[in-house]
Structure 1
Amino acid sequence: MITNTKPSAHSQEGLSRLVSLIWQHRFLFTACLLFTGLVAAIGYMRAPKRYHSEAVVALDVRKLQALPSESVMSPLPQESPVLRTEIDIIGSRSMAERVYANLGLGQPAADKSSKNDRFVTASNVDSYVKAIEEILANVRVMNDGRSYTIYISYTAKDPVFAATVANAFANAYIDYQIDLQTTATRRVSDWLGERLGSLQKKLELSEQSAAAFRQKEGLVSMGGTNLQAQQLSGLNTELTSLQARLAEARARLATATEVLQTGEGVGLTEVLSSPTIQLLRAEEARVIRSIADLDQSGARMNPQRPQLGYQLASLKSQIRQEVMEIVASLRNEIDINQKQQSEVYQNLQDVQRAMSTASMATVHAGQLEREANANRSIYETYLARYKQMIEQDGIATAEARIITRATPRTKPTNPDKFLWVLSALLAGTTFGVGAVWLRGVSSRSVGSITALQQKTGLVVFGRVPRMRAGGISVGPGMFSGKDSDFHCAVAEIRTSIQLVQAKRQGKSQVVALTSSTSGEGKTFIVTNLARSLACGGFKVLVIDANLRNPSISDAFGISSTYHLSRAIRGKIAFDDLIHRDPLSSVDVIVSERQATPPDFILGATSFTALILEMRTRYDLVLVDCPSCTFELDLARIAGMVDAVAFVVNPERTDSLVLKTAADYLRANGDQVLGMVLNGVRRRDYKRGERASPLIQDPTDSRQMKPRPRPALLAGE
């Protein structure tokens, strides 16, 4: 969407009005600029010199890792809120107190619990607080928002002190980070040490409880299994072994029985392995050899042979007896094995019953053991962490580093000459514009002719330039002298009136001149207009109807006791009222201030008769009326004259009063010619257009409206 950015006519008019006011009151504006410049110069000279130093600290995302263990404090997150927090920490009161103590600027107030608290006074506390406040007021900590770089600046009267404090803040921040990590590590170590003591006691109690319960319940374990299980396993093994031995013994017994029945008992393994039988068999073999030797020698009748026979039979009987004993031992072995099996089986049943009755105790013992194991695990974890903390103590590193240290500056940063000059210009411009605007508002300036005509609805048909103090020359060379501009302006007003008179077909005209307030030059315009008309061959009469403040007599230089009020009262004739201007052919009727209310004179029939009579005698009658402030007096006079014109001073008039008076006159059917601007600045008069000669004729039914004139008024 295209938007029209062209300023409105109202804003353009306001801006041009402001520029015009500044130019009109340029001396006031210049005085404001000079005054603020002087104040700024004095302030700049008296302002103490202050030096600015800056240290730069960077948050380091890299961190020294001396041990492969986790540190107590996690590294700073690389986030904007964290950076903002670190900036607040650097600029905090606690950091200022740390700098205050590190630099030895003074001693902080002693703690109430100290032994010297009775020596702490309120003055010491106040000086300490003021010193901290001064440090905080002069330090600035900032970040550019694009990096993790922190700028620490300090401003002081001494450049060395400024650099020292800035570096002290940077060092204090580094020390703060190291102290923070060291304190946290030691605090965690102390807490872990205290915790380890309690955990150790708890572990010992849990292990003792588990061992005591097992001992109480007889749940002795060896090699990871309890005693009952081991007993049960042993009994099962023993029972199996006994059963195997019993089967073996029975098999040997059956074999031995069969061998005995066949007579081959000596072939038994037990027989062969018996030492006694082996000796007997050896002796038997010797006897048999001896008998064989005797038989081979043929000595059958040898007396030794019967003896050897008896000895051989005895040996065989002994061997047989030993075999029978071995068989009997096998039977005894079977009986013993059976008894052992019965006892082992009984023991096995007892162990099974004991294990079934001890199942709950085993579960509880397992729970106690698990609790003891958990306590042992926690204790070992805390112990390992405690040893890590001990190893980490003393190797704390800061997460920031100083990349630029502050250095003393040779030139002061404050006061800033450019800033003071700029402030002086801004303040002077502001005060000047304000003073000019207030002056313009208080001067009641009306602005441009167009604005004045729009506000009042009146036509400007004459503009009179501002004249210097002194008389106005009247004569043949008045249009070529120093007052030529003035006489030309009056001639324009006269021409406008002549045009109206021509439209009235030569009939005489009575015109009343008034103003919105006193002091706008109404009498001055009437006097010089009358003289100008008289120089043009008009027969002109001037009547001073301003009975509240008569001034026509002074303007024309006439002093007489024959004034208007005496003629109205019938004390003198109308012809005696008329006086002649010493400088021209203008006739004048003067007035004098009276205690009688003006309404008694202006409302008299004789005053109406005077106007009617003078209308027949003169070509033009100019009536000097009171200002619009006295609206009743003006209304009386307006009802008797042909038209009313307003004399307006752009710097003194009130447009609202003008509009109200013009509307009031029009409502009563009175004819209003327009306005004559008096006191227009000469440069505005020369560059502006001439006033419009078109004024409203009471005899003309057409309402002739002049074109708006862009000429500027005085002070615009």
Structure 2
Amino acid sequence: MIVSEVPSSHGGMAIPRIVEILWRRKFVVLAGVALCMGLAVLGYMRSPAQYKAEAILALNVRKLQALPTESVVSALPQESPVLRTELDIISSRSMAERVLARLDHEGFTPDGRQVPAEQQLSPIANQSKPVASTPFDEDHNRSEIDKLLSNVSVMNDGRSYTIYINYRADNPEYSAAAANAFGEAYLDYQVDQQTSATRRVSDWLGGKLVSLRTTLEQSERAAADFREKSGLEKANGMTLQSQQVAALNAELANLRAKLAGTEARLSTAIEAANNHNGVALSEILSSQAILPLRAEQSRIERSILEIKQSGATQSAQLPQLNSQLASLKAQIADEVEQIIDSLRNEINVIQRQQTAVEANLKEMQYGTSAANQALVHADQLDREAAANRAIYESYLTRYKQTIEQDGIASADARMISRAVPAMSKTSPQLQTWLAMGIMGGIFLGVIVAFVLELRDRSIRSPEALESATRLSIIGKIPQLSARERKDVARMVSDGQSSLGHSIADLQANLLLSASPKAARAIAITSAGDQEGKTLVVTGLARSLSATGIRTVVVDANFRSPMIAQEFGDQFGPYIEEVIRGRQTLEAVVQHDLATSIDFVAAQTCQVPAEFLLGHEQFAKMIAELKRQYEIVLIDTPAVSSSADAIRVASLADATAFVVRRDTANMDDVVAAVTRLRADGRKVCGIVLNSVRRSGKAPRVDAPPPPIQLVRESVVKKMAGHTKSRSVAKA
């Protein structure tokens, strides 16, 4: 018995399976390639010639700085997102509008032709030319802009700040002009952006300066008026009140110092007067009244000293001189006392002055708190005025710088290579079209092949059939030509033919798969008609008969009986007459003289086949044939036609299922097998019919196997199979 493993479905479609499908559908793939190649050649012939021109721009890494001031518009940051944004700006609709206007100014028509210079209007005529604003013109301009955008390609290599502008057109001059127009329009756009930004900033600054000047004047006027009303005028950086307080503090300090000095002199004078010491005060020493008295006192004291030194102590002048000296001292003492009194008077005066100054200072300090609050408010007004002045001056400086920058705007990029008309066309290219055709054809062919494969429900492979039905293939009948079908009897008995070998293998596998009884009934059925049941039955009968096994063939296919035709019908009687009781079984069993095969023929009957096959007499007939013959082969109707095959299979020991590979439908086969199994019928295997031959013919020098050897081999296999089953049951 042929046993094959069920392929796993969890791993998806394996590569060998894909290769097998593509090889089987190779003509579909080749047809797709041929079709796409033809379409590619047709497209190449019908495609208009296209010319490509390229203009190259480079973003400026270094910025021209004409003035030592900050520019209104900063330079472009050298970053990848910024460069990507600039590419989007070049390929935008607003830029396409600029390009369209520039091309129209250069004399290019929308279809790419250039108007001769003598036919172009002058600039004055262009300005005076009326501009139509009808919906048709707007739609026309929109279509022209869309055409420009569809043909332009702006890119960057990602490693530099270089921008490549490519334009495709059917005119080389127009493609170059359009590429250059995109580059120049982008440069003009940058200059216009800077110029307009500078002018907008200058206009805004001019309007802002007017309001700032008014604010500054108001703040300065408010600060001056408040100081004037509050008496907070400043001189040498100080207010008048502050100066007065400072002067009173200085005067008070002087008075306190003067009072301390006078009190010190007074105490010194009083101490000297009490001790009768010589007074060395400046007031005493410089007194005009005391100086003569002190001179006279000194003269008298010298005279008294001379008298005493001369020893004339009893001189009459000595008392007189002492009296004069005492009188002088008394006069000096009186003068000193007057000086002391004058110092006391001076101290009193200084104290009264100090009291007055302190009172004035205290009064000034009382008024300082209110003055300080007014001063704080005045300082706040001064700060506001100073801040307004600083803002005004900064705006004024920026305004002057902005005015100076007007007219010196420069683009942040430059054109390093202008586009020139192409010498040869860029497209179409035959190699590209052919490559596209080949790839498209392969893709289309593969898709169609897999779609056909998915929709194809035929028998793709023996393995797929075994996997779907869960049955083993017990025989493979080769595909026969019309001439070979006429000589089936000889080919079955010929050991060199592929059909003979196939029938012999089927015979061995079928006998081993059937129940080991003395007589066996094997039903041969199929899912549909024209599957080759009769071919298998007759070939198997001839092979069994050739090996000496007593075999009888029963034609139970009342819808399309073929057994009588295969074995030489002797015109009855037929199986219907036995079932109806008109004939005996021995009468309907016919004998083929050529092959020594017994068969029971049938013919198309008028009554439904279900009445005959379901009759009790039909079951008795099959049971009687099983007792008389070793093998009973029953040719049944197709399972899809009716329930006839199921009724016949219930009387047989085993059922062989014939499937024709080139015409059978997988779903029908699976449904038929499932139906047989659902009714409890034993299906021993599948006989695959019309199998393509491998091309290897059997050896010519190999003699056909003797009938007795084949019979012994089959008997030994059957005995071994019976023994193995007995052991398994034990």
TM-score by length of 1: 0.68
How far apart, in 1, do the equivalents of 2:535 and 2:248 lie? 152
Q: Structure 1 residues 427, 682: closer, same or farther in 2, change over 3 A?
A: farther
Q: Please point out which of 415, 418, 422 is paired with 1:409.
A: 422
Q: State the partner residue of 1:513.
A: 524
1:629 aligns with 2:640: yes
Secondary structure, in 3 states, of the residue corresponding to 2:722? coil
Superposed CA offset, 1:686-708 (max 9, x none) = 79xxxx9999899836459xxxx
Does the C-alpha gap of structure 1 residues 87 and 632 become closer, same or farther in structure 2, counting only changes over 3 Å?
same
The aligned counterpart of 2:617 is 606
| Equivalent residues in 2 for 1:334-345, closer than 5 Å | none
Q: Residue 685 of structure 2 aligns with which residue? A: 674
Q: 2:92 maps to which residue?
A: 92
Q: Does 1:393 align with 2:406?
A: yes
Aligned to 1:243: none
The residue type paired with residue 453 of structure 1 is E
* C-alpha deviation, 1:197, in angstroms: 2.7
Q: Which amino acid aligns with 1:568?
A: I
Cα deviation, residue 71, structure 1: 0.8
- Residues 511 and 718, structure 2, Cα contact 8 Å, conserved in 1: no
1:603 shift after superposition: 1.7
SS in 1 for 2:607: coil
The answer on 1:429 being equivalent to 2:451 is: no
Instruction: State the match for 2:482 in structure 1.
Output: 469
Match of residue 42 from structure 1: 42
1:161 aligns with 2:183: no
CA distance in 2, matches of 1:388, 1:417: 61
Q: Residue 231 of structure 1: CA displacement?
A: 11
Partners of 1:230 and 1:101 in 2: CA distance = 78
Does the 8 A contact of 2:515 with 2:654 survive in 1? no
> CA contact under 8 A between 1:459 and 1:695: conserved in structure 2?
no
Residues 176 and 419, structure 2, Cα contact 8 Å, conserved in 1: yes
Q: 1:410 to 1:696 in 2, by over 3 A?
A: farther
Q: Distance in 1 between matches of 2:634 and 2:248?
A: 157
Flag the 1:31–1:671 CA change in 2: closer, same or farther, 3 A: same
SS of the counterpart of 1:700? helix
> Is 1:700 paired with 2:711?
no
Q: Secondary structure at the match of 2:147?
A: helix
How far apart, in 1, do the equivalents of 2:161 and 2:66 lie? 24
Shift of 1:18: 3.4
Show the counterpart of 1:294: none
Conserved? CA contact 2:219–2:385, under 8 Å: yes
Alpha-carbon distance between aligned partners in 1 of 2:678 and 2:563, rounded to the nearest angstrom: 29
Instruction: Spell out, residue by residue over 1:350-409, the C-alpha distance to the aligned partner (whole angstroms, 9 max, x if none).
Output: xx98x9798777666655554444333333222221221121111112222233433443
Runs of at least 5 residues in structure 2 that lack an aligned partner in the other structure = 1-6, 111-126, 251-287, 293-355, 699-712
* 8 Å Cα contact 1:514-1:646 kept in structure 2: yes
- Does structure 2 conserve the Cα–Cα contact (< 8 Å) formed by 1:491 and 1:532? yes
How far off is 1:589 after superposition?
Answer: 3.3
Q: Name the count of aligned residue pairs.
A: 591
Distance 1:490 1:127 in 2: 81
Question: Are the counterparts in 1 of residues 21 and 453 from structure 2 also a CA contact under 8 Å?
Answer: yes
Partner of 2:22: 22
**CA–CA separation in structure 2 for the residues paired with 1:57 and 1:651:** 68
1:117 CA displacement: 10
Task: Answer yes or no: is 1:144 the counterpart of 2:157.
Answer: yes
Instruction: After TM superposition, list the pairs within 5 Å mapping 1:446-595 onto structure 2.
Output: 446-474=459-487, 478=491, 484-496=497-509, 507-534=518-545, 540-553=551-564, 558=569, 560=571, 562-574=573-585, 577-578=588-589, 584-595=595-606
1:302 alignment counterpart: none
Relative to structure 1, is the Cα distance of residues 367 and 453 closer, same or farther in structure 2, using a 3 angstrom cutoff? closer
Q: Which amino acid aligns with 1:700?
A: T
Deviation at 1:625, TM superposition (A): 1.0
Supply the AA of the counterpart residue of 1:80: S
Q: CA deviation at 1:606?
A: 2.2
Contact 1:474/1:583 (CA < 8 Å) preserved in 2? no
2:39 partner amino acid: V
Counterpart CA distance in 2 for 1:582 and 1:123 is 97
What aligned pairs does 1:146-295 form with structure 2 within 5 A after superposition? 146-209=159-222
Report the residue type matching 1:646 in the other structure. Answer: F
Asked if 2 retains the 8 angstrom alpha-carbon contact of 1:443 and 1:652, the reply is no
Give secondary structure in 1 for the equivalent of 2:482.
Answer: coil
Cα separation, partners in 2 of 1:657 and 1:236, compared to 1, 3 Å: closer
**Partner SS, residue 30 of structure 1:** helix
**Deviation digits for residues 129-156 of structure 1 (CA, Å, limit 9, x no counterpart):** 2222222233333333333333333333
Distance 1:390 1:672, change over 3 A: closer
Of residues 65-74 and 460-469 in structure 1, the stretch that sits farther from structure 2 once superposed is: 460-469
2:53 corresponding residue in structure 1: 53
CA distance in 2, matches of 1:181, 1:126: 32
Partner Cα separation in structure 2 for residue 550 and residue 658 of structure 1: 22
- Counterpart contact for 1:189–1:386, Cα < 8 Å: yes
Q: Secondary structure at the match of 1:682?
A: coil
Rate the CA distance shift 1:480–1:612 in 2: closer, same or farther, 3 A. closer
Is this contact kept in 1: 2:639–2:646, CA < 8 A? no
- Partner of 1:151, secondary structure, is strand
Question: Aligned partners of 2:31, 2:539: CA distance in 1, in Å?
Answer: 37
Q: TM-score, normalised by structure 2?
A: 0.67
Q: Distance in 2 between matches of 1:458 and 1:376?
A: 105
